[in-house]
Structures are given as C-alpha cells and as structure tokens.
Structure 1
Amino acid sequence: MNSIETKDRIDTLDYLRGFALLGIILINIVFLLSAQIPSPDTLDAAYWKFLYLFVEGRFYTIFSFLFGIGFYLFISRVNAKGKNGTILFLRRILVMFLFGLVHYSFHPGEALTVYAVSGLLVLPFYKLKKEINLTIGLLLLLLFGLLAIKPLLPVALILLGLTAGQYRLFEDLVAKRRKFWWCTGILFLLSLMVVFYHNKQAPSLSAEGTLEMYWFYHIGIMVGPIVSAFYVGLFILIIQIPIIQKLLSPLKYYGRMALTNYVLQTVLILFAGYGLDLLGKVSYLQSLFICLAILASQLIFSILWLHFFRFGPLEWVWRMVTYLEIPPLMLHKQEDK
C-alpha cells in the first residue's frame, strides 16, 4: 500500500471521529445541563424525539467501533517497528483509564474508562483469525443489543472495529465503493424499518419513568447499531466526493484531536452550566444552540492548533506516557500536515 492510500485511509477515520463527536455532544449536553423536560406537542418535544430516534446511542456506537480500528492499527504498526505492541497498548489504555477517572468526576456518563476496560477485554482477540472475531463480535452485538445492555455494547463494537482493521476495510476505499453502495443501501432500508418501529413505540413525555418509556429507550439501544452502520456507510460514500470532502474538512482536524475535543466538550458544557448559570434553565432546543456555539469554537481551535502542532494537547501527553519519551510537539512548516 503506497503512502497516498495510507494518508487517505487515516483521513477517512479522522473524518469519522469528528462526525461521531458531533452527535455525542448533542446528547451529553442535555444531561450535563439538566435540560428541562419538554412540554408535549412543542418544538422542544419534536427535538427530543429526534435525539432519541436518530442520535442517542448512534454516535457513541460509531466512536466505539472507531476505537476498535485504532486499537488494531496501533498494535500492528508498533509490532511492525519491532516493538512490543501489546505492552505499549496496555500502557496506552492505562493512560486512557486515568484520563477517564478524572473526566468521570465531572461527567459520570463519560466513555474513556469504559473503552479502556473494554479494550483490555478485547486484547486477547487480536491474535485470533478475523473470521472468528467477526463471528464472535456479531454474536456479542446481537446478544447485548437484544438485552439492551449498553455498558457492554462497546466490547462487541470494539471487537468488530478490530475485525474491520483485520479485513482492511478502510483501505483502498475507491475500489470498494460499489460494495459500500450496496451495503449502505441495505442498511438504509433496515434503518427505515427500525426507526419507523421505534417511532411507533414513542410514549408521551408525561410517561417518563413508566414501562412504556423504558421500552422506548430499550428499543433505541437494540436498533442503534443498525442506524450507526448506515451513518458510517453513507458518510464514507459522500466523503469521497471532492467538494463535500473539502466542505467537511474541519471535521478531519476535529477528529485528529478526538481525545482533547471529547474532554473539552465537557469543560465547555460545564462552563455554560455553572459559569453562565444555565444549569437546569435551558430547553432541549436551547441546548442545541449552545452545542453549535461550542462546536464552532472547537472546530476553529482544532484547525488553528494543528496548524502549529503535531498533536492535540491530550494526544501529546497520551503519546508521551505510552512511549515513555517526549515526542516533538511543534510542527515545522516544511512538514506535510
């Protein structure tokens, strides 16, 4: 595989990470700001339903899958350099777990600790054949999805991400475009069916805490991976179109600093909640507008930061502790960014 194909593959994953972060903040802000429960038959209620039909559990799923791909790429590349990929990966997820513990004290729903533990559980699968990993991953996804055990879903998704790395799914995407169109078309039809069924089960907002609302949330977790897979397929296809790739290029920088931006989302949301005294005082729609302001500031920050530096701030610390060496941070002008 030549260097151009490698760069394109990495760029695609960075675009996807940025895309996933967009959806994650839409959900996190509602809970971190304790948004007011919408009144029935209002725009707020419509936005609440939109979040639970198309966002909740969909982007967290994508992020988990991407972590699995990153897991595979990291160990493979380290091994190729003659180093012990397993030891370095264990050190890497330990650092992630410590980041997560700090993050958890401010955001109890954070995912870094979950990914670290899940990565540890999936590590033994790295040496298994891809066919075995695919079978086990799909069975676990089906089991955890049907039972709606959200905390365990990342184990299955990370394993499937690792398997995607083994199958080299994100390499030479141009040659695989036809297959992606077919798969995405099928996923689109499946997504239409499951979202239609999910919408039919939506109870009144006054039913919060009832069995009907619990079932609605349960279905959302069950069908989430199908919708997430459709999002990934569609995004990969449209990002191959040059004009769209250029328009969405800020997402690449946003995704390259995924760890920093994920934690920074929490910082900015909590600043809005406590610093601006918005905690418990915003509606669902107002949370969307705050999201847009935060995302705009993060996108600009990511572009400017990576214009001068090789890594995001937390990515640099993560890399330093993983390799037990201080990597160069400044980006020289002659280097290819």
Structure 2
Amino acid sequence: MSAIGENERIDVLDYLRGFALLGIILVNIGPLLSAKLPAAGTGDAFYWKLLYLFVEGRFYTIFTFLFGVGFYLFISRANARGKSGQRLFVRRIIVLFLFGLVHVQFHPGEALTIYAIAGLILLPFYKINRTVNLVFGVVMLVVLALFAAKIFLVIPLMLLGITAGQYQMFERISYHIKAIAVFTVIMLILTIAGLFFQYQSSYSAEVVSNSVQMQQFISIGITIGPVVSAFYICCLVLLLQTSFFRKLLSPLKSYGRMAFTNYLFQTAFIILAGNVLGFQNQINYLETLYVCLAILVIQLMFSTIWLRYYKFGPLEWIWRALTYLEFPPMRKRTLP
C-alpha cells in the first residue's frame, strides 16, 4: 500500500499484497459473521483446523511486512523528488488512521489504526543504520513470537519491512535468486517442523470453546507464523521469476495494486452477506469459505477491469489526494 508512481512500481510487491489479501479475508470473515464453532469430527472442524494451520497468523504478517516496505519506499521516493518525505508520510498516516477509525466501527480489531500508530512509532527508524534495524527487528520478532504476542508483532514485522527497503531487497531479486532459493529450503524445513508441532498439539483436542488445547494450538500457530509467512513469500517470489506464472497470476497483481480499496471492501462485502443474505450467526466455517471465494472472484475481476482504465484504485486515489493535498490524474491517457 505504498504511494509509488505508476512507472516506478515494483511488481512483485503488488503480487505479494494481493496474495496476502487472499488469506486475510479467510480469517476475518469468521468473526465478522459470528460463524458457529465447528463440531468435532466434521468437515467443518477439518476446515477450521486447516485455516489455523495454514492461514491464520500467516497472511497478516505478510501484509504488515509489506506495509513496512511501502513505508520506506514512500519516504525515499518523496525525498528523491525534492519533497519532505517524512512530513508527507505523517500526513499519509493521519489519513490512514482516520480511515481506520471509520473501518473499526464495522470491523473491531481491524489493522489500519494499528498500522498508523506503529508507523508513527517507527518513523525515526527510517534513518537508523540498516544492520541495526535488521538485528533489532529479528530479535524483537523472535521474542514476541515466542510469547505469541500477535498484536505487538506488527512493530518488528513493519521494521523488517523498512529494513528490506533499505537493503533494496525487492529491486535486486534477480541478482539473488540462488540465495533466495537456499533461504526457501531452510524456511520449508522450519515450516514443516513448526506445522507438525502445531498439529500434534491439537491431535487429541476437541474444537470447542475455551479449549485449553485449542488455545495452545492457536498460540503455537502465532509463534511459527513469521516462518511460514517467509516461506510463502519466497515461494511466490521464485514462481514470479517465470513469465508463465507472472501471466497466470496477473489478476493477483491488479488485486494487490488496489490493496487499500480491496481490504476495506472485503469488510463491506462480508457485512452485506451477513445482513442482506442472512448469514450473520447462521453460517459455519466451511460455508464462510464459499462466501470468500465469491467475494474474491468479484474483487479480482473488478480490480483487473478498473486498472485497465484508471491509474489508481478509488480509495487509493482519495488517500493520495489527501496526502499530497492535490488531485492526481485518475484516468490513463492511453486506453489498452
């Protein structure tokens, strides 16, 4: 969700943002629709367990990390254009916080207000040495992950995103493919070990409210979340090195370019499904998957079509206009 110019965008970041949004909606929909807790031994229980093994605590970490990358790119590129990047960033964060204040009325526990506060806290780290940021970010991430302090993980994840920007990690991917491949294998081994440990923690547990075993299961998932997320990121980055997967996943790129719009409209669609279609308190977890798929199809198609004609998503345009206090050109000059 960075304000990068149309010709300056780093495509892989858009793919990753889109990928992160795919998982975020799968987790958010359950609480928003007050989905029923699954009965043990059912297909619903099986899906719930898959959700907490492979999705919960994995995709918000990617989204948060990418926000940190966008944080760094926004300030750096504004400074390069002769503007006060940090002052513009503060204004941008204030606008984000205001959007979050509205969003939280419909989605308790939403991320935008937290991102805004974390962004202000981390603003001084923009000028700190990248090695210091890397060490501090990794140590803080490990400690907080061990305590399964999910909400506080935003700080180190965002800081590591800033550090990735300082190292120009995403601008130089093609030069470090071998290193990324080795790192992917390491993360794969750690991911398999972590997921096996998490799965074993719930082997004899029932999926019921206030289950001690299930709370342990969820906590372990939060602890290993950054490792699994790193593996997901590496896999997608490697896949995107081929033109076949870049074309195949191109709707994901459009989806990620409109991440701000799509994130907020995910909530709108879910609330609409709950109130208009009567799903509120009446849906189980497996059924939420079907609703998510319908929403994702609509959003992927809309994002692809919209960006054929316009430079920014609708809410991205508003966010940009309020940040720069000017109306940026919306429509593309040359239509495809």
1:3 corresponds in structure 2 to none
Q: Does 1:19 align with 2:19?
A: yes
Corresponding residue of 2:314? 313
- Which letter does structure 2 place at the counterpart of 1:276? L
Letter in 2 for 1:146: L
Matches within 5 A, 1:43-82: 43-82=43-82
Deviation digits for residues 98-123 of structure 1 (CA, Å, limit 9, x no counterpart): 00010000000210011101111111
Give the direction of change, closer, same or farther, for the CA distance of 1:273–1:235 in structure 2 (3 Å limit): same
Per-residue CA deviations over 1:7-34 (Å, capped at 9, x if unaligned) read 6961100000000000000001111111
**Structure 1 Cα separation of the partners of residues 101 and 197 of structure 2:** 38
After superposition, give the CA deviation of every residue in 1:270-312 in whole Å (9 maximum; x if it has no partner). 0000011111111211111111100000011101111111111
Residue equivalent to 1:250: 251
2:123 counterpart letter in structure 1: L
Displacement of 1:214: 1.9
Give the CA deviation at 1:172. Answer: 2.8
1:239 and 1:40 mapped to 2: Cα distance?
A: 39
Measure, in 1, the Cα distance between the counterparts of 2:52 and 2:299: 25
Deviation at 1:329, TM superposition (A): 0.9
Give the counterpart letter for 1:273 in structure 2: G
The one-letter code sitting in structure 2 at the alignment partner of 1:315 is E
CA distance in 2, matches of 1:278, 1:192: 35
* Structure-1 residue corresponding to 2:291: 290
Deviation of the 1:36 alpha carbon = 1.4
Separation of aligned partners in 2, 1:157 and 1:113: 16
Deviations 1:128-161 (A, max 9, x none): 1000000110111012111111111111000000
Match of 2:96 in 1: 96
Query: 2:181 aligns to what?
Result: 181
**8 A contact 2:207–2:214 mirrored in 1:** no
Alpha-carbon distance between aligned partners in 2 of 1:20 and 1:241, rounded to the nearest angstrom: 20
Say if 1:97 and 1:112, in contact at 8 Å, map to a contact too. yes
Match of 1:227 in 2: 228
Aligned CA distance change for structure 1 residues 275 and 265 (closer, same or farther; 3 Å): same
Paired residues in the alignment total: 330
- Code of the residue aligned with 2:190 in structure 1: it is L
Report the Cα offset of residue 207 of structure 1: 4.2
CA distance in 1, matches of 2:226, 2:147: 13
Contact 1:138 1:160 in 2 (8 A): yes
8 A contact 2:53–2:199 mirrored in 1: yes
Where 2:64 maps in the other structure, the secondary structure is helix
* Residue range with higher mean Cα deviation, 24-33 or 200-209: 200-209
SS of residue in 2 equivalent to 1:205 = coil
Q: What's the TM-score, normalizing by structure 1? A: 0.95
Distance 1:7 1:320, change over 3 A: closer
Q: Which amino acid aligns with 2:57?
A: G
The answer as to whether partners of 1:9 and 1:172 remain within 8 angstroms in 2 is no
Map residues 198-237 of structure 1 onto 2, 5 A cutoff.
Answer: 198-202=198-202, 204-237=205-238
- 2:304 paired with 1:303: yes
Tell me, yes or no, if the aligned pair for 2:88 and 2:324 is still in contact at 8 Å: yes
Partner-residue secondary structure (3-state), 2:60: helix
Pairing 1:151-190 to 2, within 5 Å after superposition: 151-190=151-190
The match for 1:271 is 272
AA at the equivalent of 2:278: D
Q: Could you say which residue in structure 1 is the equivalent of 2:149?
A: 149
2:323 is aligned to: 322
Alpha-carbon distance in structure 2 between the residues aligned to 1:232 and 1:205: 32
The CA RMSD measured in Å over matched residues stands at: 1.4
Q: Which runs of 4+ in 1 moved over 4 A?
A: 6-9
User: SS state of the match for residue 186, structure 1?
Assistant: helix
Conserved? CA contact 2:38–2:208, under 8 Å: no
Superposed displacement of residue 206, structure 1: 4.4
Of the structure 1 ranges 73-82 and 32-41, higher mean CA displacement relative to structure 2 is found in 32-41
Please give the TM-score of this superposition, normalised by the length of structure 2: 0.96
Quote the residue 2:3 is aligned against: none
Amino-acid identity (%): 53
Is contact 1:253–1:299 with CA below 8 Å preserved after alignment?
yes
Task: Confirm or deny: 8 A CA contact 2:24 2:60 kept in the other structure.
Answer: yes
